[in-house]
Amino acid sequence: MSALNNPITGLDFVGIPTQNSEKSLQFYTEVLGLEKDTHGKYDLRLGNTCLGIWEPESMGMPFAPQKNAHLSLHVEDIEKTRAELEAKGVVFQGDTFDTGVCYMALFTDPDGNDLMLHHRYAAKS
């Protein structure tokens, strides 16, 4: 199927499951510094993408953190940002690593959702 025939045209939002929306909102705004979106009480802006904080249990579903699908949060200076977050209590999983095209530093939010600081330094081929 060619892109011209594809009815999928973008990514509207990424759901962030939580057990406590207020605590999660505080982490994403005060610790990570993300901007609240004006469209919803628990929506955040990240570039052209919305992060939607939601409580699965309030909809009759079991809570489970998102694992192994790290939201890759772009930063210009990964070590500086990592140090700033560590000073705010964020615990990283191991050292920052170099993949040969980018740097990555893995951590989780208070609910255990996987996150990553990311900086691509090599040109895309």
**8-12, 14-18, 83-87, 112-116 — which is least confidently predicted?**
8-12
Residue 97 exposed, middle or buried by CB count within 10 Å (0-12, 13-18, 19+): exposed
Q: Average pLDDT of the chain?
A: 93
Whether 84 has a pLDDT exceeding 50, the answer reads yes
The percent of residues above 70 in pLDDT, for the chain, comes to 95
Please report the pLDDT score of residue 57 as a whole number. Answer: 96
Considering the entire predicted model, what is its pTM? 0.88
CATH superfamily of the 3-120 domain:
2,3-Dihydroxybiphenyl 1,2-Dioxygenase, domain 1 (3.10.180.10)
DSSP-based three-state secondary structure for 99: coil
Considering only residues 121 and 124, tell me which one the structure prediction assigns the higher pLDDT.
Answer: 121
Q: What is the mean pLDDT of residues 23-40?
A: 95
Please report the pLDDT score of residue 109 as a whole number. Answer: 98
Q: What is the mean pLDDT of residues 63-71?
A: 95
> Nearest CA to 14 among 114, 120, 117?
114
